[in-house]
């Protein structure tokens, strides 16, 4: 089985590092990346049409064009069973609450080591 993980972050280095850490640690994870929330929503729909519906979506909270909270809302409108997690360096209680109200399953701290993020993602995929 191959797990599909969609990662949306406006920082190319963050997208690349998450992709590298997931790919090196786990050969059964295929990572798809988007540079903002709008592209992530479009990619989610396309992947679902191609029978590669993401098993997990990681979206940065703050991005241009469309932020992670709005992307979460839109992804969940199209697929209420989507497992969306916000990844952020900003632990602002009001934004966290807004993300959870939008339907995010949780928040992952971006400042954590990428190895730990990969391990967290693996645990979420297996739960």
Question: What is the pTM assigned to this prediction?
Answer: 0.94
Enumerate domains of the chain plus CATH numbers.
3-119 (3.40.50.2300)
CB contact at 8 A, 39 and 77? no
Write out pLDDT tens, residues 67-95. 999 999 999 999 999 999 999 887 788 88
- Mean pLDDT across the stretch 24-53? 95
Q: Do 120 and 108 contact (CB within 8 A), yes or no? A: yes
Mean pLDDT taken over the chain: 93
The answer to whether residues 46 and 78 touch, using CB atoms and an 8 Å cutoff, is no
């Amino acid at each position: 089985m191959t797990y599909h993980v969609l990662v949306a972050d406006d920082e190319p280095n963050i997208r690349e590092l998450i992709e590298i850490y997931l790919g090196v640690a786990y050969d059964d994870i295929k990572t798809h990346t988007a540079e903002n929330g709008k592209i992530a929503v479009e990619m989610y729909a396309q992947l679902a049409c191609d029978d590669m519906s993401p098993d997990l979506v990681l979206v940065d909270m703050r991005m241009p064009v469309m932020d992670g909270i709005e992307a979460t809302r839109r992804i969940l409108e199209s697929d209420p069973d989507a497992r969306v997690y916000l990844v952020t360096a900003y632990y602002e209680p009001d934004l966290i609450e807004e993300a959870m109200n939008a339907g995010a399953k949780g928040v992952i701290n971006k400042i954590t080591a990428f190895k730990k993020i990969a391990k967290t993602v693996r645990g979420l995929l297996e739960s």
